[in-house]
């Protein structure tokens, strides 16, 4: 199911079809992709782990009760290649009843798709969805040292507000903020 589209990309739900699961595994099993994610389920070790990841994403997306928030596949329009994931979701600790507070935009791309502007393009569409849904501001939280993701946040027009420990178990993260235009 298509969530939104941009000039070059289709943002859609991840499926449990073999091609999607193979791409999830190929992306999230790579140390260069997961080194900054800080999530215990990464790197994926087996193809079955990819299926479990997609199941978790579907469950979490369903909990939001709206198509505004989720973690989705980013697919190139020209050839159908899935280049990675984009997300728009409440930061941890935010109750589902207040989905317009502390909203995060994020992205994870396969290395074969780095350097083409896909992360910025997909994230810009996600940010637009968040503001259309009523968010007053949107954050990007980035592990220190992840210069590529910090550059994407800046290209989105986000301003650095320093390191914060509000989310993700108190981990110190570079935080970027974009207020509603």
Of the listed ranges 37-41, 87-91, 112-116, the least confidently predicted one is 37-41
Strands 103-109 and 159-164: unpaired
pLDDT of residue 170: 85
pLDDT of residue 10: 98
pLDDT of residue 65: 78
User: Residue 157: phi, psi to the nearest 5?
Assistant: 90, 10
Q: Per-residue pLDDT averaged across 22-47, rounded?
A: 94
Q: Residue 5 pairs with which residues in a beta bridge?
A: 10
pLDDT of residue 93: 64
The more confidently predicted of residues 39 and 97 is 39
pLDDT of residue 13: 96
The more confidently predicted of residues 104 and 39 is 104
Answer whether 145's CB lies under 8 Å from 153's CB.
Answer: no
**Degrees, nearest 5: CA angle 68-66-85:** 50
Give the integer Cα–Cα distance in Å for 53 and 28: 9
Answer whether 176's CB lies under 8 Å from 159's CB.
Answer: yes
Residue 83 neighbours by CB distance under 10 Å: 24
What is 2-179's CATH topology? Aminopeptidase (3.40.630)
Distances (CA, A) of 161 to 91, 112, 142, 150: 16, 31, 12, 12
Encode pLDDT of 137-172 as tens digits: 999 999 999 999 999 999 999 999 999 988 888 889
Residue 125 neighbours by CB distance under 10 Å: 21
Encode pLDDT of 44-102 as tens digits: 999 999 999 999 999 999 988 778 899 999 999 999 999 999 999 998 864 444 444 78
CA 52 to chain centre: 17
> What is the sign, positive or negative, of the torsion defined by CA atoms of 2, 6, 9, 11?
negative
The more confidently predicted of residues 96 and 133 is 133
pLDDT of residue 66: 78
Q: pTM for the whole thing? A: 0.93
Residues 6+ apart with CB under 8 A from 31: 43
């Amino acid at each position: 199911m298509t969530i939104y589209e941009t000039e070059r990309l289709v943002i859609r739900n991840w499926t449990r079809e073999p091609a999607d699961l193979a791409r999830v595994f190929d992306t999230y099993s790579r140390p260069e992709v997961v080194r900054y994610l800080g999530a215990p389920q990464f790197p994926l070790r087996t193809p079955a782990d990819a299926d479990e990841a997609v199941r978790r994403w579907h469950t979490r997306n369903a909990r939001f009760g709206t198509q505004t928030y989720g973690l989705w596949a980013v697919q190139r329009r020209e050839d159908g290649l899935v280049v990675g994931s984009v997300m728009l979701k409440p930061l941890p600790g935010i109750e589902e009843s207040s989905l317009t507070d502390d909203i995060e935009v994020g992205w994870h791309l396969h290395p074969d798709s780095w350097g083409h502007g896909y992360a910025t393009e997909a994230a810009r569409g996600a940010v637009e969805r968040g503001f259309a849904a009523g968010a007053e501001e949107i954050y990007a939280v980035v592990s220190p040292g992840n210069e590529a993701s910090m550059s994407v946040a800046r290209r989105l027009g986000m301003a650095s507000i320093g390191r914060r420990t509000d989310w993700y178990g108190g981990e110190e993260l570079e935080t970027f903020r974009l207020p509603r235009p």
